């Protein structure tokens, strides 16, 4: 089936809107036969008959054994893939929305094999899978992260063809047991949730379909003559072509001539990381290399697949919609067509609402627009659908679908819209982002007697839009900088976005464990994140991810998968993208967590002047607008009325919304402020000069890279030997795991000299360099902690600056840090490592990203230190909300100490009144020449800021970083040193006490656990880890001071290796954990 580029807009269905009729129980006896029975027992009976009478059969191709990795990962789980046993059709974590029919799929019992072009490799395979995983499982390759295996395994990507083959005989036997293959009127369909990427499908040695897009599902009809040949050739074969070859072929025909960053460092129009030609592939762009991950270019049957046996209605049944009155139950199945729901979406918005704008009436009724993609065994005329929300007791009458006929075969999406009351007994409660209210979700059910289908989705009722309106003259007079807003409203309330960027969770996605996914999101939430941005170089969000976000109130900004480049705009490419976005929108639009869809990552930068001007720009600009301002935007608007869309993540917004006219560089720079901003400052000398930071309404990317922990590095270095050649900060294997800046070609190993200099310069400029007298692993350990500390301090300084702007001229309304997670065990910008371990940054972010936080920002230009209180309008808990609404005040405590723990000045406390429900900031104190006015000698000084008055307490530390190393050396020479003592309390909890028994302050104390444990340290109001817990690490301890930290561990819900995880909450387990703990401060570098 070939998708067409443009289809009739679904808004015509509004002529068919079915006004929801709330039917009360006492009215049941007056209902007509075509009305929905509201008696629950009657409804259950309908569903039972539907399932029992279905003649369509579905078999899953998934194997019982899966590639899913255990979580937590252990240090010895790095040389092979670890397999999880479970239901062969358990939901893979990387899957898009599952077709509703898959719940009834039977196991096929297929045995899959993987082979290469010439047959020299033939190994057993799992399904879903990728070639790398099955080769890893067979012991032919080792894990790509270890040593130089990325380069050694490159032959896997360069192999011309990989074949996945299985004998369909086990399924054929099941089919033949139910009906004759050649006589019974059935159609057979293959349904693939995702094939990566260039693939052909063969059945019985004959082609039945091909794919060129990793992100789309595909349904291929298997012709009857192919089924008849099953007795002679019963194989199904999936042929995966070389992706790089395909990209080269497309480039040869359609290359617009974009120069890359190597060919034109100052005027590029695309960025190549390792493999060229990625922009011609509808594939995860990072698979071909990025500046934080390897270029594996995986391929294979990445997601689940099914065989469908669909009965065809015979002539005697006409259209398949005839009804019998006698003995209805017995003949129910025979009188109905076989219809399967391939995809379903429920778009929820206020009546009258349009994209990018607030609803005209914020209390208007809700519209639930249902979109269905159907596979039918017969034509069905005038089918209807009805909707119910059982929890509300709300049921509707039947409404006609947008198409007068559901045709036999695979249908284009059909629609029907229902109007739902917004208030009263039947009005749904609102879904809110975390920190602003509850995440209320309802099971919404649609079903049809004519089609004999039923679909249930979890739905949240909320409005969300990004406001890019012009700053009013009144606001300008109040001190707001002219320009336009960039702010998010949910349910009419302004939300301050505390965000983070998400990249793919693994280089080989079938390995992703759902417990790991939940842990990473919970880790983000623990640092007060309320939005994740799905970055445009990875993959679209999985249903598992979006379901978690719906439950947690974690909002989602979703880029379409286009990143750091201009893209082709020839017709076939546009057609492919159009059908891709249509499918993706159906997958995601139901989720209340999705608040924006964005056309690309950074594409607009190429026309904002940052990359110069080229003669071909006008033509390329037209191609850019065709793809992002029309093709993708039109598809988004077709499937959603409630979502905001803008073409690029880095943008100056628009001059006109409909038709869309982008602003680009058409404004007065320096006077007006528009859109989003980015900042990556790798010059350590300027890192803390806040005058080099952008002034922005909304920061969509900023960050700094750091080494992973020594425990994570052990996974990739230890197999090579623990020696000074491998465990060196300048070792070639370690530098091969640093991808910044990228080679731009296939050079391997690439030393990344520029990135290495930036990393080491950041450490040496502000911190003592780890001593070379240490053992190799210990010295590298000190470097990992130092680099992570720099990342934490530098990025948190930026967060502080941008949050201050919420109450200043910029009216900043969002920060989205780069980045949350890792794709492998390498040097990156992440705050959570590949193993799930927290970097130092995630702890420090939790302090400065708290709903109410005290911030210290030094301005080198005026030699002033300003203390501000920033508030987002969010609450950490219901208790905090009640407390703040009562007090509307926060207390900021400012304490100055020297590095011997001596208090330099009287403690100063300031009560700050603030707007509880709106974002903003207030300046508490301005300290001029702090080094001289607050520091009284050579023993240094630091400021401890405490923000209290809420349920939890935040601590922020400031010291003159330029003087830090000299101060520490001065004290070291005087034999004034901290001594950190760890003690296991007798309370029975997973707690540890850290005490400084030395005679000097310990700056930036970092407590670490061993490699066997995943979790984070927190100060909790209860010793058993209950109550309110605030993540805590990288704190300062004066002599004699101590802290008690609780170790918060992930909840493991899935079965691993066929066994439930054992309970280790016993004394022995606690003591074994304690023995792995260590504490470090910057003094340890000396």
Q: Tell me: the pLDDT tens digits for 770-785? A: 999 999 999 999 999 9
- C-alpha 602/C-alpha 599 separation (Å) is 9
Residue 886 has pLDDT above 80, yes or no: no
DSSP count for the chain of H helices, then E strands:
23, 53
Please report the pLDDT score of residue 325 as a whole number. Answer: 38
819, 812 contact by CB (below 8 A): no
For the ranges 4-8, 112-116, 602-606, 1051-1055, the lowest mean pLDDT is seen at 4-8
String of DSSP letters for 913-963: E--SSS-EEEEEEEEESHHHHH--STT--EEEEEEESSSS-EEEEE--HHH
Please report the pLDDT score of residue 183 as a whole number. Answer: 65
Nearest 10 degrees: Cα torsion 76, 77, 83, 87: 100
Q: How many residues does the chain have?
A: 1086
pLDDT digits (tens, 9 = 90+) for 372-431: 999 999 999 999 999 999 999 999 999 999 999 999 999 999 999 999 999 999 999 999
- pLDDT over 90 for what percent of the chain? 80
Please report the pLDDT score of residue 610 as a whole number. Answer: 79
Higher pLDDT pick, 171 / 52: 171
Calculate mean pLDDT across residues 976-986.
Answer: 96
Which SS3 state, helix, strand or coil, does residue 794 take? helix
- C-alpha 413/C-alpha 374 separation (Å) is 7
Domains defined along the chain, listed by start: 10-17+33-45+315-459 (2.60.40.10), 58-257+271-307 (2.60.120.260), 851-972 (2.60.40.10), 977-1086 (2.60.40.10)
Adjacent-strand bridge partners of 982: 994
Residue 44 has pLDDT above 60, yes or no: no
- C-alpha 65/C-alpha 798 separation (Å) is 46
- The tokens describing 919, both together, are 């974002």
Higher pLDDT pick, 1059 / 768: 768
pLDDT digits (tens, 9 = 90+) for 502-514: 999 999 999 999 9
980, 994 contact by CB (below 8 A): yes
Instruction: Kindly report each contact of residues 173-179 with a partner whose C-beta sits within 8 Å and lies 24 or more positions away, as own/partner.
Output: 174/57, 174/59, 174/106, 175/57, 175/309, 178/57
Model confidence at 1009, pLDDT cuts 50, 70, 90, reads very high
66, 86 contact by CB (below 8 A): yes
Which SS3 state, helix, strand or coil, does residue 283 take? coil
555, 549 contact by CB (below 8 A): yes
Calculate mean pLDDT across residues 546-569.
Answer: 98
Residue 1084 has pLDDT above 80, yes or no: yes
pLDDT digits (tens, 9 = 90+) for 293-347: 999 999 999 999 999 999 887 433 333 333 333 344 434 545 678 899 999 999 9
Residue 29 has pLDDT above 60, yes or no: no
Residue 223 has pLDDT above 70, yes or no: yes
- C-alpha 690/C-alpha 699 separation (Å) is 15
Please report the pLDDT score of residue 963 as a whole number. Answer: 93
Model confidence at 769, pLDDT cuts 50, 70, 90, reads very high
Please report the pLDDT score of residue 54 as a whole number. Answer: 53
Higher pLDDT pick, 187 / 706: 706
Calculate mean pLDDT across residues 803-814.
Answer: 98
> What sign has the CA pseudo-torsion 598, 604, 608, 611?
positive
Which SS3 state, helix, strand or coil, does residue 296 take? coil
Residue 884 has pLDDT above 70, yes or no: no
Most confident stretch, 42-51, 351-360, 881-890: 351-360
- C-alpha 754/C-alpha 59 separation (Å) is 53
Model confidence at 280, pLDDT cuts 50, 70, 90, reads very high
* DSSP-derived secondary structure letter, 1037: E
Over its C-alpha atoms, the chain yields an Rg (Å, rounded) of 30
Average pLDDT across the chain, whole number: 89
Phi, psi of 164 (to 5 degrees): -110, 125
- C-alpha 483/C-alpha 460 separation (Å) is 34
Burial state string for 74-87 with b = 16 or more CB within 10 A and e = fewer than 16: eeeebeebbbbeee
Residue 314: Cβ-neighbour burial (10 angstroms; 0-12, 13-18, 19+):
exposed
pTM: 0.93
pLDDT digits (tens, 9 = 90+) for 605-626: 998 877 889 999 999 999 999 9
92, 61 contact by CB (below 8 A): no
Q: How many CA atoms lie within 13 A of 965 on its CB side?
A: 13
For the ranges 101-110, 500-509, 749-758, 890-899, the lowest mean pLDDT is seen at 101-110
Q: Which residue has the tokens 């309390």?
A: 985
């Amino acid at each position: 089936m070939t998708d067409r580029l443009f289809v009739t807009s679904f808004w015509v269905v509004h002529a068919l809107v079915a006004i929801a009729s709330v039917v009360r129980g006492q009215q049941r006896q007056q209902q007509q036969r075509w009305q929905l029975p509201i008696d629950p027992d009657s409804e259950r009976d309908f569903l039972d008959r539907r399932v029992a009478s279905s003649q369509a059969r579905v078999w899953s191709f998934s194997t019982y054994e899966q590639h899913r990795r255990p979580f937590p990962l252990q240090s010895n789980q790095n040389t092979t893939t670890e397999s999880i046993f479970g239901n062969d059709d358990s939901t893979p974590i990387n899957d898009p929305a599952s077709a509703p029919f898959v719940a009834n799929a039977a196991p096929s019992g297929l045995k899959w094999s993987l082979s290469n072009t010439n047959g020299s490799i033939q190994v057993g395979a799992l399904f879903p899978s990728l070639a790398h995983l099955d080769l890893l499982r067979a012991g032919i390759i080792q894990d790509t992260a270890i040593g130089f295996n990325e380069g050694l395994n490159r032959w896997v990507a360069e192999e011309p063809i990989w074949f996945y083959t299985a004998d369909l005989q086990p399924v054929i036997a099941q089919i033949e047991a139910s009906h004759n293959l050649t006589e019974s009127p059935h159609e057979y369909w293959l349904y693939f949730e995702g094939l990566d990427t260039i693939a052909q499908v063969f059945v019985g040695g004959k082609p039945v379909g091909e794919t060129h897009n990793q992100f789309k599902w595909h349904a291929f009809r298997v012709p009857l003559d192919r089924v008849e040949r099953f007795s002679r050739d019963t194989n199904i074969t999936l042929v995966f072509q070389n992706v790089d070859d395909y990209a080269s072929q497309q480039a040869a025909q359609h290359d617009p001539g974009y120069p890359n960053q190597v060919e034109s460092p100052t005027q590029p129009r695309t960025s190549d990381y390792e493999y060229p030609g990625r922009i011609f592939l509808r594939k995860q762009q990072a698979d071909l290399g990025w500046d934080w991950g390897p270029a594996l270019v995986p391929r294979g049957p990445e997601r689940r697949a099914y065989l469908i046996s669909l009965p065809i209605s015979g002539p005697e049944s006409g259209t398949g919609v005839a009804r019998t009155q006698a003995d209805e139950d017995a003949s129910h199945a025979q009188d109905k067509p076989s219809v399967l729901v391939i995809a379903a979406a429920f778009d929820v918005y206020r009546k009258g609402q349009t994209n990018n704008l607030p609803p005209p009436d914020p209390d208007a009724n809700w519209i639930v627009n249902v979109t269905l993609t159907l596979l039918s065994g017969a034509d069905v005329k005038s089918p209807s659908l009805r909707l119910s929300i059982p929890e509300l007791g709300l049921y509707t009458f039947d409404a006609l679908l947008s198409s007068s006929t559901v045709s036999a075969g695979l249908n284009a999406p059909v629609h029907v819209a229902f109007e739902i009351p917004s208030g009263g007994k039947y009005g749904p409660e609102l879904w809110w982002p975390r920190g602003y209210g509850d995440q209320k979700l309802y099971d919404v059910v649609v079903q049809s007697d004519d089609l004999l289908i039923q679909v249930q989705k979890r739905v949240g009722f909320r409005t969300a839009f990004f406001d890019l309106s012009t700053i009013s003259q009144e606001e300008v007079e109040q001190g707001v900088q002219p320009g336009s807003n960039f702010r998010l409203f949910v349910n009419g309330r302004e939300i301050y976005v505390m965000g983070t960027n998400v990249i793919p969770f693994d280089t080989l996605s079938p390995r992703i464990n759902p417990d790991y996914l939940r842990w990473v999101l919970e880790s983000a939430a623990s640092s007060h994140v309320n939005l994740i941005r799905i970055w445009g170089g990875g993959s679209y969000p999985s249903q598992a991810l979006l379901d978690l976000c719906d439950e947690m109130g974690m909002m989602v900004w979703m880029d379409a998968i286009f990143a750091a480049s201009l893209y082709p705009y020839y017709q076939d490419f546009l057609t492919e993208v159009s059908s891709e976005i249509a499918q993706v929108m159906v997958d995601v639009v139901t989720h209340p967590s999705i608040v924006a869809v964005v056309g690309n990552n950074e594409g607009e930068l190429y026309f904002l002047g940052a990359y110069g001007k080229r003669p071909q720009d006008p033509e390329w600009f037209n191609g850019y607008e065709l793809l992002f301002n029309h093709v993708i935007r039109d598809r988004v608007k077709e499937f959603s009325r409630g979502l905001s869309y803008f073409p690029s993540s880095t943008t100056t917004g628009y001059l006109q919304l409909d038709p869309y006219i982008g602003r680009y560089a058409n404004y007065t720079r320096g006077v007006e402020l528009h859109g989003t901003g980015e900042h990556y400052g790798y010059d350590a000398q300027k890192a803390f000069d806040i005058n080099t930071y952008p002034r922005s309404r909304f920061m969509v990317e900023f960050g700094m890279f750091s080494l992973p922990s020594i425990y994570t590095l052990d996974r990739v270095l230890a197999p090579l030997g623990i020696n000074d050649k491998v465990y060196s900060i300048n070792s070639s294997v370690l530098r091969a795991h640093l991808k910044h800046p990228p080679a731009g070609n296939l050079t391997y190993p690439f030393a990344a000299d520029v990135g290495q200099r930036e990393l080491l310069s950041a450490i040496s400029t502000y911190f003592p360099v780890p001593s070379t007298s240490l053992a190799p692993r210990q010295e590298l350990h000190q470097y990992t902690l130092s680099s992570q500390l720099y990342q934490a301090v530098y990025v948190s300084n930026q967060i502080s600056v941008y949050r201050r702007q919420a109450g200043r001229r910029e009216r900043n309304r969002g920060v989205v840090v780069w980045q949350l997670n890792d794709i492998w065990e390498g040097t990156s910008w992440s705050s959570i490592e590949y193993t799930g371990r927290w970097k130092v940054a995630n702890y420090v972010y939790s302090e400065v990203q708290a709903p109410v936080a005290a911030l210290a920002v030094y301005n080198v230009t005026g030699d002033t230190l300003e203390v501000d209180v920033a508030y987002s309008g969010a609450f950490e808990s219901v208790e905090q909300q009640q407390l703040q609404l009562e007090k509307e005040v926060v207390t900021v405590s400012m304490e100055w100490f020297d590095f011997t723990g001596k208090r330099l000045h009287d403690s100063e406390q300031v009560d700050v009144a603030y707007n509880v429900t709106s974002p903003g900031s207030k300046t508490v104190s301005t300290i001029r020449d702090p080094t001289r006015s607050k520091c009284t000698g050579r023993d240094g000084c630091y400021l401890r800021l405490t923000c209290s008055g809420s349920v939890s307490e935040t601590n922020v530390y400031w010291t003159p970083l330029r003087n830090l190393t000299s101060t520490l050396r001065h004290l070291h020479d005087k034999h004034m040193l901290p001594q950190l003592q760890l003690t296991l309390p007798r309370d029975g909890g997973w707690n540890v006490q850290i005490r400084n028994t030395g005679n000097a302050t310990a700056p930036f104390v970092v407590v670490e656990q061993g490699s066997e444990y995943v979790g984070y340290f927190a100060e909790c109001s209860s010793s058993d880890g209950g109550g309110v817990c605030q993540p805590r690490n990288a704190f300062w301890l004066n002599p004699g001071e101590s802290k008690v930290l609780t170790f918060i561990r992930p909840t493991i819900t899935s079965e691993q290796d066929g066994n439930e995880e054992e309970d280790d909450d016993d004394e022995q387990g606690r003591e074994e954990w304690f023995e792995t703990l260590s504490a470090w401060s910057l003094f340890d570098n000396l």
